[in-house]
Amino acid sequence: MKIIKRNGSEVTFDISKIENAIRAANLEAPEDERLTEREIKFASLNVTDECMEAGHTVTVEEVQDLVEDQLMALDHFDVARRYIIYRYVQNQKRHKNTTDDKILSLIECNNEEVKQENSNKNPTVVSVQRDYMAGEVSKDLTMRELLPADIVEAHNEGIIHFHDSDYFAQHMHNCDLINLEDMLQNGTVISGTLIERPHSFSTACNIATQIIAQVASCQYGGQSISLTHLAPFVDVSRKKIRRQVEAEMEAIDAHPGEEKLSQIVERRLREEVARGVQTIQYQVVTLMTTNGQAPFITVFMYLNEAKNEQEKADLALCIEEMLKQRYQGVKNEEGVWITPAFPKLIYVLEEDNVREGTPYFYLTKLAAKCTAKRMVPDYISEKKMKEYKLSAGETEGNGDCYTCMGCRSFLTPDRSGNGFGNVANAGNYEPGKPKYYGRFNQGVVTINLVDVALSAGRDMDKFWQIFDERLDLCHRALRCRHERLLGTTSDAAPILWQYGALARLKKGEKIDKLLYGGYSTISLGYAGLYECVRAMTGHSHTDREATPFALAVMQHMNDRCAEWKAAEDIDYSLYGTPLESTTYKFAKCLQRRFGIIPGITDKGYITNSYHVHVTEEIDAFTKLRFESEFQRLSPGGAISYVEVPNMQDNLEAVISVMQYIYDHIMYAELNTKSDYCQVCGYDGEIKIVEDDGKLVWECPHCGNRDQSKMNVARRTCGYIGTQFWNQGRTEEIRDRVLHL
């Protein structure tokens, strides 16, 4: 059994330390109040048993709470009082400097909490350590000076989660949709260097990757680009190549004829497109930003976004190459093809690609093949999105289709219907057309729905009262995020605010006008709907008796967002939080506050957003149909998934799921496995096994448990993780049942 120290490092549980702590307090008490040696052993063993039954790796603070409880239970109140005083004095000493121990432990790579915080960061690399060091200082400053005490306390207790506090001290926002079209067509500036409109597709791709890296270094969330914005440069290259071929033919006095000439041009063009896509594929994976990781980038592939038939055909060429190269993967250090985490790919299902006989169905079949092997692309239904996302003046079925920002955060529809009057001074503004590229999200605060339910104790009136109190707390925390951005000048991140990624503001101009009127969003996150409903009703939210309550909870959060939006002209939006490491934090806090409750707090994780619980037996189609109703009530972002076995030999079933997605749900993905053991060459599923109370990854073929000698890719929560996970998320991954 392990225990987590205050600095985050994980060590072997040692009962003698509990015994010694009790003995120290015991000696301070009057002799007639002291425990016997047998009572000390008894109390220590009881604490050990409770730690073993906790369902997670306990912290030192939790152990000390348990010691206090045992001393009280034995009626040795004076010893308990002296033990509490000792804890208080030591705590006061630690508060004089709250960051040193954590920073030193992460430098030495023994801070388990930090090591497993982000499944796409390698904590042994100095650039990651540098980011984490800065983050620890920022978190300390944020919690001591910048946030109200009640918000900090609620965050620490797992009642809410104030996301990305390690970046809050700086004036940074969360995620965005890059206006790549404006930057490529009208030029941009990178590191003080003017970048003009590129003269080939491959150059455009190279510039795009530089933009991606710059943007990633200026914000802390995900970003998305559209492949459509690169498609016009295919024809630029086509014309350039044609001129080159004609010159070559003329130089040797050859006359191949129009048909042959076109064939030569198109062959060379395909080579150019392959080079450009390869640039995106490899640059994104190998670039290291100031966040200490590869850019969190999503590439959007939407045929109907093209402006004309030629551009659509060229876009199809780009999509085809992107899927082919992603299917192949990238090579690891052993030279073996593996699944990379990024770029995340999103493929839009639409009428001209979703069924056999449609013009672009060949791309959908290729997408299915890629998903079965590499877990991407994920899928957006144009049909459902145009029902849900309606800008001003639009009717259901005739709305807008656009990508999320990163893994799932969606912008609200353009309530101006007119590109917000070009408040951002974009170079590609089109009057009368809704605007999405160039917009962003201000940040996230998440409510722990499970805590609300357990605090109410099945009293429905009390539930709604506590719910509103917690939502008010979240609202004030979100206001802190908003107000932290107010007054930020465009000079803080020129690539974002001055050179087209999000706006073309003047130097020194404040970004405040982009924080109101719906141009940007701010997200009320939520987690644990399943456990919340079960705690209040005794049933899963998939049960007919409990579903109405689950929907009412969702609607209530939407109503509160609408209320805040109307009062403040800020686009609050309900967001199904991904919960990477926070799922474990919330679970531990719930266990500490309410104990182990079967079916609710007995796991090392709580359920993401509105999802069906990972252990619940349900088929893929029923799951998607059920979750679609909740996805619609999560307009600020959500994604559904189905867990599937190896489907590479059953692509017909994959396509059937994709077609079902098109007709029933806006945004979904298929989860499979993609692993490799570097010790023995095994390329099946790396298993999760238990060792002394801790979950570890093990090759079933050779028994290798060295994470540095295996490649494991799993869907974390909307995106792929490749650097492993904390114990809570690992338990959740282990518990997933197949839906197909």
Residues with catalytic annotation? Answer: 174-175, 405, 407, 409, 441, 575, 580, 718
Give buried/exposed letters for 487-505 (b at 16+ CB in 10 A, else e): ebbbebbbbbbbbbbbbbb
- Residue ranges of alpha helices (H) inside 498-614 are 529-537, 547-568, 582-594
Query: Counting every residue, how long is the chain?
Result: 740
Residue found by looking up tokens 């954590």 in the block? 102
Judge whether 680 and 702 are in contact, CB under 8 Å: yes
Look up residue 1 and give its amino acid: M
Cα 367 to Cα 92: distance, rounded to the nearest angstrom: 57
Q: Is 505 helix (H, G, I), strand (E, B) or coil?
A: coil
Look up residue 721 and give its amino acid: G
Closest CA to 560 of 620, 474, 466: 474
List, in sequence order, every beta strand (DSSP E) within 466-562.
521-527
C-alpha separations of 436 from 420, 433, 533, 549 in Å: 10, 10, 35, 34
Look up residue 407 and give its amino acid: C
Task: Write the DSSP assignment of 65-123 as a string of letters.
Answer: HHHHHHHHHTT-HHHHHHHHHHHHHHHHHHHTSSSHHHHHHHHTT-BHHHHTS-TT--T
**Packing angle of the helix pair 60-73, 37-52 (nearest 10 deg):** 130
Backbone phi, then psi, for 347, in 5-degree steps? -115, 125
- CA dihedral over 71, 75, 77, 79, signed as positive or negative: negative
Residue found by looking up tokens 């209040």 in the block? 536
End-to-end CA distance of the chain: 36
Within 13 Å and on the Cβ side, how many CA atoms surround 78? 10
Q: Which residues contact 313 (CB under 8 A, 6 or more apart)?
A: none
Cα 622 to Cα 630: distance, rounded to the nearest angstrom: 13
